[in-house]
Amino acid sequence: MYPQTACQRDVGDSIVPLGDPGEQLIANVILSIIACQLHSDAAARPFVFQAHAIALQLAEKSLSYRPPHPSKFARLVCQIAGETESILYSVIDDILVVPTIGPGAIVRAQPSETAALLSLEIVRYGLRLRTRKIAALLEPLTKGMSADRLSKVAQDVLTQSLHRELPPAEPLVRASENFTLAHDLIGRRNYPLAVLALDGAASALELYSKDTSLKDHPPIVQSMRRQITLMIDQIKQRAA
């Protein structure tokens, strides 16, 4: 279950950034699940159509497609109704791809207990897309869908396509990625996830400091620490 607290304002305005077509396909599949769970079957349709169109385009060139570089995702860990869940969101060009929910949108009933957002970290996967099979799985959904059917098909696509998770990046790289992600989230006023991204950056810097002597720290480390503290304080003031 994707928590509503991780989304923004308005589902119809969700745009997948330009980038690798395989990553765009997967991002649209994930967005279709979120839009269907939080909003309606109709809100999920544009994402299904787009994912299907990309799959057809890729299938014209090859039965299997792999992006040339590892693909980034943000793993959000949250607790819903006492259960801890791990959820993946696409990250394209350092932008977290999440849907938005407009103030006038009809939102499906959610669990009465608000989701507690616990952590957010950047992870990398090697993707392997079986293009014709994905297109065949998605095609029936372009003619009609139900939430249960969409969930099953989307899960099948993700399970088959996320070939393997790669080892974590070096701590300083993780800190920089989380810091960049936080900037994007603050710009979109997604403060709950921005705080998690900043916490992740701070934790990565702490790990880097333990493994590296102080004299070897580049100036960016102290600068990033100061900015993280300042940004968290600013977010708290806005939320007060």
User: Residue 127: its pLDDT value, please?
Assistant: 94
Q: Residue ranges per domain, the chain?
A: 4-165, 171-239
pTM of the complete model: 0.83
Check: CB of residue 138 under 8 Å from CB of residue 149. Answer: no
State the alpha helices, DSSP H only, in 71-170: 131-138, 147-161
Residue 178 C-beta-side C-alpha neighbours within 13 Å: 33
> If we measure between CA atoms, which residue out of 168, 167, 174, 171 comes closest to residue 211?
171
Span 171-239: which CATH code? Answer: 1.20.58
User: Residue 8: its pLDDT value, please?
Assistant: 44
Neighbours of 62 (CB within 10 A): 12
Contacts of 96 (CB under 8 A, 6+ apart): 74, 89, 90, 181, 184, 185, 190, 193
| Distance of alpha carbon 227 from alpha carbon 179, whole angstroms | 9
| Distance of alpha carbon 186 from alpha carbon 67, whole angstroms | 29
Residue count of the chain = 240
Task: Kindly give the parts of the chain with pLDDT less than 50.
Answer: 4-13, 101-109
User: Residue 21: its pLDDT value, please?
Assistant: 94
Cα-trace Rg, the chain: 19
10 preceded by a cis bond (ω within 30 of 0): yes
